Each structure stands twice: as C-alpha cells, then as structure tokens.
Copies of this chain bind each other. A is one copy, B any other.
Amino acid sequence: MKILIIGGKGTIGKRISEHLTRKHQVLIGGRSAGDVIVDIADSRSIQAMFESVAGLDAVVCAAGEAKWAPFDSMTEDDFTIGLRSKLMGQVNLVRIGQHYLNAGGSFTLTTGILADHPVRLTTSAALVNGGIHSLVKAASLELKNGLRINAVSSGLVEDAVDKYADYFPGHNPIPMSKVINAYVRSVEGHGTGEIIRIYDNC
C-alpha cells in the first residue's frame, strides 16, 4: 500500500511510520518537514497535498492540536484552535480526500480517551475528539468506492507519560505496541466506522 502519515514525526506518528514502513510505501506529511508539507488547519493546503500525491491507499492522521486551559478562562478563540486544527483538519482530510484515494482506501483519524473520559482542562480537546468519533460513524455510512474510515482513541500513551501523567491521575499508560496495532488494524483490516478504543482501566 501507499500510505500517507500526517504528523508522521510526532510522538505517535513516528512509531506508526517506523512500523508501517516495513511492509508499505510510507510518505510523511508535516507542517514544516516531511515528504509532503501540509497544514491540516488550512483546507487549501490539504487540497494542494492531495493534488500533489497520487495513488494513495491510506491516509493516517496523527496531527492536530487543541488548547488545554481551565474552562472558566477559555475564550471563544481558544476553542477555535481545536475546531480549525484537530476537528475540521481531520474532517477536511476526509471530506477532500474521498475524491482522491484509491478505491478500497482508508482514512484513520486520531482522537483520544478524553472523548469518553475527559480530565480537567480538556473541554476543547474532549469536544474535538467526541465530534470526530461521531463523524467517523456518520461518514462510514456514505463513503463510496469501498473507502473506509476509522478513528484510533488511545489512553495516555507510554511515550507521553513524562509530559502528561500529572493531568491523568491513575491512568494506566498504553504500551506503544498496542497503539501501533490499533493503527495497523484500521489500515490493514477491513472494518469501517469503528472507534478503536485502547483504554486500560476505564
């Protein structure tokens, strides 16, 4: 397969890239570095990306941001960051990409445990993740040419424990091997409309 991994140099993306490269042709998409330069917060950039990369069988998105802050100090603009980037960025990847992917191709989006089990400071990130979960289910009813769409929703991943553990009291870290397998299941499997949850104690 020819697979594009957006955010392929990030914490999760680089692990997926390393793994999928063994069996597939992998292209990395990133904002500042990679085989293809793309900013998912800008739909024109996404459109240009699909015009420049032909014959994709799978798009994996491990990119997108959302602001973390106390809810009583969040501004409307703070929410807009997540809406433009991780939410509409991923929606636009599928919305535009459905017209470019090879028949039978797949989209694998990235959400996270906050959709189902948020912690403090994450109103925006939770909202974005939950929105993508429902979008995945809805889009799977309509995608044509055998295109598939799934989301991977992981708990706190092992490689991010140092940075985020304090925000997730009592959460069991998710081994990177399990995270990678979730993406493999979406890309190499045949399911669609699935939210592949990798949670431990919830």
Q: Which residues of A contact B (CB under 8 A)?
A: 43, 70-72, 74, 76, 79, 83, 87-88, 91-92, 95, 98-99, 114-123, 125-135, 137-139, 141-144
Contact = CB atoms under 8 A, between A and B. Distances in A.
Kindly report how many copies of this chain are found in the complex they form together.
Answer: 2
A71 B115 contact: no
Contact of A71 (B76, B114, B143): B143
Given A76-B43, A130-B131, A130-B133, A114 B88 contact: no
Contact of A118 (B87, B125, B141): B141
B123 A71 contact: no
Given A122-B138, A123-B135, A134-B129, A79 B71 contact: no
Contact of A95 (B71, B92, B120, B132): B71
Contacts of A72: 98-99, 142, 144
Nearest to A75: B95
Nearest to A95: B74
A146 to B, nearest CB: 14
Contact of A88 (B76, B98, B141): B76
Contacts of A129: 134
A107 to B, nearest CB: 12
A50 to B, nearest CB: 14
A116 B134 contact: yes
Closest 6 CB pairs of A and B: A130-B134, A131-B131, A118-B138, A126-B138, A126-B134, A127-B135
